[in-house]
Amino acid sequence: MSPAAERWLPLVPAAVVCLYFFIGLIAFSVRSAIWGVKHDRDIEASGRSLLIGSYLRNYFSWLIRPLWWLVLASGISPNGVTVVATLAGCASGVAVALGRFALGGWLFILSGILDTLDGKLARVRHVVSPAGAAFDSLLDRYADGAVLFGLAIYFRHSWALVPALAAIFGTSMVPYVRAKAESFGVPMKEGLMQRPERVFTLGVAVMFSPMVEALLPTTSAHGSQRLAAIGLVLLAVTSNMTAFGRIARLLTALRGAAAQRASASAAASPAPGQPHAATRRLVRT
């Protein structure tokens, strides 16, 4: 096999899937222009995003319907889908640690796709429960951490190790701050880099990185995987920005609630030298 074939042959499956997504986007655009956008209420209810708008989210939901029908017909439980998604995420981490970036990128995107289906499956089968939601959220952290840990191993001798470690912190803090906020009754769904955005940004960067290396080869024996490194930098910056923004909104909301309670307490307290309202009623009686 020639060196050129060695470089390009492993990228053929990724190219085929990319072609499917591209043709799907054209088909969805034509369908939307004729009959209107097909809305997925579950995805739209997950919160707004600056990076992936409502149109792209609905396109994504429409495009993965064959996979959704397969999952629905398989009889697998929602928790089973969650476990498979986590295993795909962990396999992605192993793949990128070994330098198989095209495979690792698609496994990470598959993990994210399956993660959107487990909750939908639970709602369709009427088995939604707090335990299932907690199980899903906790295993998501393992899937995200696995691919970032794999990238940190691959880039252990490179400057890209720093953004890989920063991304681990950022992607852990974004859901943690949301959980903490909701425990105080403060809704926290919006953000620049939520999980769908994280999966899309990092998955695409990792998946296409070998194509960049094949088109622009370097003399380095250990492939630099420049696009993946750029994706890590973007993820590290935006995820930590999202976490800091959520922290600021949470503290502002909690301070505002404390000020309202203090104001209400002060309004209910009698002025100095005046009896309490209940005491005044007794005196008039």
Mean pLDDT of 273-277: 54
CB atoms within 10 A of CB 135: 17
Judge residue 268's burial from the number of C-beta atoms within 10 Å of its C-beta, 0-12 exposed, 13-18 middle, 19 or more buried: exposed
**pTM for this prediction:** 0.80
Tokens 């995107």 belong to which residue?
109
The answer for residues whose C-beta is within 8 angstroms of residue 107's C-beta and 6 or more apart is: 88, 89, 91, 92, 95
The answer on pLDDT for 283 being more than 70 is no
Query: Using alpha carbons only, how large is the chain's radius of gyration in Å?
Result: 25
Domains held by the chain: number: 1
The answer to whether residue 62 sits within a structural domain is no
- pLDDT (tens digit, 9 = 90+) per residue, 150-171? 999 999 999 999 999 999 998 8
CATH number for the domain harbouring residue 148: 1.20.120.1760
The answer to whether residue 55 sits within a structural domain is no
Please say whether the beta carbons of 66 and 211 come within 8 A. Answer: no
CB atoms within 10 A of CB 53: 11
CA distance 122 to 213: 41
The answer to whether residue 49 sits within a structural domain is no
Confidence band for 223, pLDDT divided at 50, 70 and 90: low
The answer to whether residue 136 sits within a structural domain is yes
- For the question of residue 140 being annotated catalytic, the response is yes
What integer pLDDT is reported at residue 280 of this predicted model?
Answer: 45
Identify the active-site residue in 115, 118, 140, 144: 140
Q: Six-digit token pair at 15? A: 């190219």
What integer pLDDT is reported at residue 5 of this predicted model?
Answer: 63
Q: Which domain holds residue 142?
A: 70-257
- pLDDT (tens digit, 9 = 90+) per residue, 60-98? 888 888 888 999 899 899 999 999 999 999 999 999 999
Please say whether the beta carbons of 95 and 150 come within 8 A. Answer: yes
